[in-house]
Amino acid sequence: MTEIFKGSFTQQEPIPDDGIAAALEVMRSGRLHRYNLAEGEIGETGLLEREFAAYLGAKYALAVASGGYALATALRAVGVGPGDKVLTNAFTLAPVPGSIASIGAVPVFVGVTAGLTIDLDDLAAKADQAKVLMLSHMRGHLCDMDRLMAICGQAGITVIEDCAHTMGAAWNGRASGRDGLIGCYSTQTYKHMNSGEGGFLVTDDDEVMARATILSGSYMLYERNGTVPPPDMFERVKYDTPNVSGRMDHLRAAILRPQLQMLDSQCAAWNARYECVEQGLRGTPGLTVIDRPTEEKYVGSSIQFLLLDWTSEAIADVLTRCRKRGVELKWFGGAEPTGFTSRYDSWRYAPSEPMPETDRILRGIIDMRLPLTFSLEDCALIARIIRAEVGAVWQAT
């Protein structure tokens, strides 16, 4: 009898009861705007900023409207402007080059390795082309951050980390987002905390935080933020820093605060599911599992594998066969963008040169979400289905 998976790949866990209760309290107050506070009140958003900064060991945290907004704000805060070049991963999601293009800057794409991380040799070769690297920890894969920071330090490159998929992850014991000058995070529904949309920017730099706070739309009410640089820093930057409003509100902060308290246990639950699927896929003919470095503490909220050097027709056959059995796989190698999958040459607003080895890797990347609504038994079933269908197509080709 053919096994069928009947779960949903887009169904998230419910918001914790504490978050629902706190959100109701905010709604009853009518004071959703982050700066609408009673005398002496910190508010949900300010409290969340303090708690998120403490969780990461950062001096400052700024809660904003989305992860993409955090990225663009980070670029503006370090002085990137129209026409400036910014290094970034060829393997990433569209909001990353989109944030660069949104301020008139120009992405310079850096290749991807078979470990799905930025190609550090290619980065070193291109280090003289830009003064900023927007590093995307795409799909939760961390590169050798020690070597990356050495390359960037030698070249005078400022590093901004896109940690949309690595909240709760670490490299050599250092939390993801804490190697670069700025770390940016997302709380969009499919990330590690869920507020529908939302995000954070963290830094230890006084001027960066002052500029980011004003950019976010503080209206000179910055003293009401949760983590605040010295007043003289705001005086230095307030007249030449534009307001590009993108604040987080108290409602979303109320939803997120209990989730932050649960984050480590949630990450452990994701990793249990990831390891179950990974174990089930190992040894499948024609399929390459991504080995994780020992220095990496990852969060397995999704899993990727490679069908290297397969034809497009064979990969499409695998996807169709798995879909018929209830398993939704996404392919980053398609010629046209589909849903959230796209390639660096899909973004025609950003000039690019072909990268043959990167193109080979991208053509083989298969991606799958692992929501916590899946049980371990579900994950074992999903792995069996993928293994069987990959094997069937491999044997036929």
304, burial (CB in 10 Å: exposed 0-12, middle 13-18, buried 19+): buried
Between 259 and 338, the higher pLDDT residue: 259
The CATH number given to whatever domain includes residue 182 is: 3.40.640.10
Cα–Cα dist 3/9, whole Å: 17
Q: What is the CATH number of the domain that holds 374?
A: 3.90.1150.10
State whether residue 42 is helix, strand or coil.
coil
What domain range includes position 154? 17-257
pTM: 0.97
Question: Both 234 and 294 in a single domain?
Answer: no
SS3 content of the chain, % helix, strand, coil (to 5): 40, 15, 45
Mean pLDDT of 18-25: 98
CB 180 within 8 A of CB 75: no
* Average pLDDT in the chain: 96
pLDDT of residue 24: 98
Comparing 205-214, 267-276, 351-360, which segment has the lowest mean pLDDT?
Answer: 351-360
Q: pLDDT, tens digit, for every residue of 277-335?
A: 999 999 999 999 999 999 999 999 999 999 999 999 999 999 999 999 999 999 998 87
Q: With 80 as the cut, is the pLDDT of residue 214 above it?
A: yes
Same domain, 187 and 301: no
> Are residues 286 and 232 part of one domain?
no
Judge if 328 and 229 occupy the same domain.
no
Examine the fold and report which residue of 238, 257, 276 is the final residue of a domain before the chain moves on: 257
- Residues of the chain with pLDDT > 70, as a percent, come to 100
- Whether residues 63 and 195 share a domain: the answer is yes
Q: Calculate the CA dihedral of residues 112, 333, 10, 249 and round it to 10 degrees.
A: 50
Asked if the structure places residue 5 within a domain, the reply is no
Residue 10 within a domain: no
pLDDT given for residue 335 in this prediction: 78
Asked whether residue 128 falls in the same domain as residue 202, the answer is: yes
How large a percentage of the chain has pLDDT more than 90? 93
Shared-domain flag, residues 37 and 100:
yes
Reference 244, options 201, 180, 194; nearest CA is 201
Residues 292 and 242 in one domain: no
The pLDDT-based confidence of 1 (bands split at 50, 70, 90) is low
Kindly indicate the confidence band of residue 341, based on its pLDDT and cuts at 50, 70 and 90.
Answer: confident
Report, in angstroms and rounded to the nearest whole number, the Rg of the chain calculated over CA atoms. Answer: 21
Beta strands in the chain (DSSP E): 60-64, 85-89, 106-110, 132-136, 158-162, 170-171, 174-175, 182-186, 199-203, 288-289, 296-297, 302-306, 330-331, 365-369
Query: Of 226, 257, 288, at which residue does a domain stop?
Result: 257
- The Cα–Cα gap between 25 and 191 comes to 25
Whether residue 76 is predicted with pLDDT greater than 80 in this model: the reply is yes
Rounded to whole angstroms, the Cα distance separating 306 from 275 reads 16
Q: Give the residue-averaged pLDDT of 129-145.
A: 98
**pLDDT of 23 over the 80 cut:** yes
Instruction: Examine the domain organization and report whether 334 and 234 are in the same domain.
Output: no
Give dist(CA 291, CA 271) in Å, integer. 14
Q: What is the total count of domains within the chain?
A: 2
Same domain, 25 and 43: yes
pLDDT at 157: 98
pLDDT of residue 340: 86
pLDDT band at 343 (very low <50, low <70, confident <90, very high): confident
Nearest alpha carbon to residue 299 among 263, 326, 271: 271
Is residue 2 assigned to a domain? no
Q: Is residue 348 part of a domain?
A: yes
Judged on CB neighbours under 10 Å (0-12, 13-18, 19+), 94 is middle
Give domain status of residue 313, yes or no: yes
- Residue range 6-17: mean pLDDT, rounded: 96
Pick the last residue of a domain from 225, 257, 289: 257
Q: Is residue 7 part of a domain?
A: no
Residue 338 confidence (pLDDT) = 87
Does 174 share its domain with 293? no
Query: Residues 280, 205: one domain?
Result: no
